[in-house]
Amino acid sequence: MSVFVRHYLRCCNKLNRICVITRRCRTYSTAYNAELYTTTKIDKDEPTFEKILIANRGEIACRVINTCRAMGIKTVAIHSDVDSDSLHVRLADEAVCVGPAPSAQSYLNMDVIMNAIKQTGAQAVHPGYGFLSENNEFSRRLAEAGVQFIGPPDGAIRAMGDKLESKQIAKNANVNIVPGFDGVVKNEEEAIGHAKDIGYPVMIKASAGGGGKGMRIAWNDTELREGFRLSTQEAASSFGDDRLLIEKFIDNPRHIEIQVLCDGHGNAVYLNERECSIQRRNQKVIEEAPSTFLDAKTRKAMGEQAVALAKAVDYQSAGTVEFLVDSQRNFYFLEMNTRLQVEHPITECITGIDLVHQMIRVAKGHPLSITQDDIGINGWAVECRVYAEDPYKATFGLPSIGRLYKYTEPEHIPKVRVDSGITEGSEISIYYDPMISKLVTYGSTRKEALDTMKKALDSYVIRGVTHNISLLQDVLVHPRFIDGAITTNFLPEEYPEGFKGHKLTEMEQLQLVSMATSILMRQLLKDRTFLNQTRIGCKGSPQKVLNLIVNIENQNISVQVEDLEKSYKVIIGDRIVNVNKSWSISADLLDLEVDGQACSVQVISHDAAGNLKIQFKGTIYPINIVTTAIAELQSLMPEKKKPDTSKEVISPMPGKLFSLSVQVGEKVYEGQEVCIVEAMKMHNSLHAAKTGIVKSVNFDAGDSIGEGDVIIQLE
């Protein structure tokens, strides 16, 4: 069915006009586990909207649609042309194409979106997060058109959207604030002046910003100059507003935020906290609720300040007040996000309140059906943001793009919630956020939630893009994380050289080696099993015992594997391990048992020369296995020289060449910035690896570039 719809869509795109398609037959749905969203029942008799347009894409659009469906509300999806077959479009009752791939021409294109609302007769709009969610012009235009914005009132968005104003309001509402300079920083020199007053480290951030964009930390004057320049550019291109702020950067800080919910009748409650300290480049990676750090007193104080702030701006709907908390449990107001947050599911898990449901109710004018006394903390929830990025590159991640040729979410595991907007076959493109999904696990204790998370990450099959599961898994087993002794600097502190992959423990290595050799043994048997070679039959019998040399993590390990009737007996040194046999070598996820202990691995690749890539504990390990006979000869093989790439500046990711700072013939010094690549809206500056003269520049600013493209060559 869908392909024919697709064909139709394609014709529509060729005609280059906006088309509305109503699907009578829907074959797609995501598993909607209502219990993980809410324990409060949806009152079907309560008046609500008939049709809601979701002005967003991806997982959050799907998330909102799910609750709308549960409430019996019809949904309208909007999409860019590259998204015409994406999951949120398939899930919605109607879909409207609002323009080409770049967000500015589609998901941010208010004129077309307003048209779509008119065309479809949607009574309300849920903006999700990002895009137009905190755009007060959009909410104003909706109000003018008589369409309900599912979010806070225009005034609250404006007041909280401006960091200077919000700080002032917070101050007036007796909310603790961070020391800093109350004003826009005009230039680098002025920034350095303020930094001297406040004292390094300082943080510069876009006045209009959010989500880590246009935000940088500087520890000295040089970094401040570079940061100021990059933040200005990023702020301009991301928000169309290059005003920057400067403030004290609090050391050992924890990022803890309070979820608030307010109605139009003066009721406001806080839904406790979320700890989001595991961040990279100021973007959250792992969040949990509640925090291991807060005591009841601090929680209450933070909650009450958050509510006070919300009330001060006549807030309605769901919102989040972000705080930095120092080691003494002093907390400082950071900013208020006037939208549904990415990490809202963990709050839903521990409070049993469906935030989208409440947002829709509040927007319809209903009073909150819950009071502060109804809200407790029930169990523990953890969220991992699974990104399509290479965690080994740059600072814990460079975006990776591609098509998911295999994709299976671990939803078969109880107490797992996966919020995603993709399915097998979806493409992660350069146009949008590289988040694959939000993987949420729930448990009665933190340990239970974390254990489920580890299992879920192990069972998550993602092929076609590089993903950050290795980093997530490594953090989950980190002693500091397990103890809850984290700060927002956790990642740079614990991985000062960047993330290099999980380092196997002795036990894990033993398990991995025994599984790898068992897989090889199975493959070898398969290789000599022919079903129809009868004219000359197959000769000899498969070897039951193999002596192998396994190369893993730069070590050579001698292993003997024996193919027994019910298991593989693996001898490594003085250890004897048994690996079960009840698994299929073609499965995406292999659930093996090593000495009775369950171990999940994924065979990413396996070639005839004994090279395997096996994903274990989130990390993909390259392993080479050969027989001892081959191993003896291997040392004779010449080592292949890798081409010297130090004379080339290579794009580490696909994106757009944002700017070039050198020309042909110019001398560049080692470490000098030579160009900036914009990918996923982030500016990444590339540096020369050597001092030399620029021989050629292969691209112009504005060109699209692919991963591995040589941008600049030195002589």
Residues engaged in binding another protein (CB under 8 A): 2-4, 6-7, 9-11, 13-15, 81-82, 84-85, 403-406, 423-427, 464, 526-533, 535-536, 538-540, 542-543, 584-587, 607-610, 626, 629-630, 633-634, 636-638, 640
Kindly tell me which of 289 and 631 has the beta carbon lying closer to another protein: 631
Question: CB of 541: closest distance to another protein in angstroms?
Answer: 8
Whole-angstrom CA distances from 267 to 310, 339, 525 are 10, 18, 69
Question: CB of 609: closest distance to another protein in angstroms?
Answer: 5
**What's the CA gap between 51 and 73, in Å, rounded?**
6
Kindly tell me which of 534 and 554 has the beta carbon lying closer to another protein: 534
**What's the CA gap between 143 and 83, in Å, rounded?**
28
Contact 656, 677 (CB under 8 A): yes
**What's the CA gap between 256 and 427, in Å, rounded?**
33
Kindly tell me which of 222 and 533 has the beta carbon lying closer to another protein: 533
Is 335 annotated in the active site?
Answer: yes
Kindly tell me which of 2 and 580 has the beta carbon lying closer to another protein: 2
Q: First-to-last CA distance in the chain? A: 56
**The residue type at 553:** E
Identify the active-site residue in 94, 234, 247, 335: 335
**What's the CA gap between 626 and 579, in Å, rounded?**
19
Length, in residues, of the chain: 715
- Report which of 500, 603, 640, 523 is spatially closest to residue 612, judged by C-alpha positions: 603
Kindly tell me which of 489 and 611 has the beta carbon lying closer to another protein: 611
Kindly tell me which of 57 and 248 has the beta carbon lying closer to another protein: 57
Question: CB of 196: closest distance to another protein in angstroms?
Answer: 54
**What's the CA gap between 455 and 440, in Å, rounded?**
12
- Sign of the Cα pseudo-torsion (140, 213, 237, 228, in order): positive
Question: CB of 77: closest distance to another protein in angstroms?
Answer: 17
**The residue type at 350:** I
Question: CB of 588: closest distance to another protein in angstroms?
Answer: 10
| Both structure tokens of 446 | 């933190």
Question: CB of 85: closest distance to another protein in angstroms?
Answer: 6
SS3 of 83-121? HCCCHHHHHCCEEEEEECCCHHHCCCCHHHHHHHHHHHC
- Sign of the Cα pseudo-torsion (190, 196, 197, 198, in order): positive
Kindly tell me which of 296 and 609 has the beta carbon lying closer to another protein: 609
At residue 160, what are phi and psi to the nearest 5 degrees? -85, -20
Question: CB of 314: closest distance to another protein in angstroms?
Answer: 45
* Residues β-bridged to residue 259: 320
At residue 213, what are phi and psi to the nearest 5 degrees? -80, 135
Question: CB of 404: closest distance to another protein in angstroms?
Answer: 7
Kindly tell me which of 237 and 429 has the beta carbon lying closer to another protein: 429
- Report which of 456, 474, 442 is spatially closest to residue 408, judged by C-alpha positions: 456
Question: CB of 198: closest distance to another protein in angstroms?
Answer: 51
Q: H helices of 145-253, where? A: 154-161, 163-172, 188-198, 221-239
Give the residue carrying structure tokens 């081959």.
630
Contact 30, 91 (CB under 8 A): yes
Kindly tell me which of 188 and 707 has the beta carbon lying closer to another protein: 707
| Both structure tokens of 368 | 């909150």
Residue 32: which region, alpha, beta or left (left: phi > 0; alpha: psi -120 to 50)?
beta
**What's the CA gap between 263 and 414, in Å, rounded?**
34
Q: Residue 685: in which H helix or E strand, if any?
A: strand 682-687
Active site residues per annotation: 335
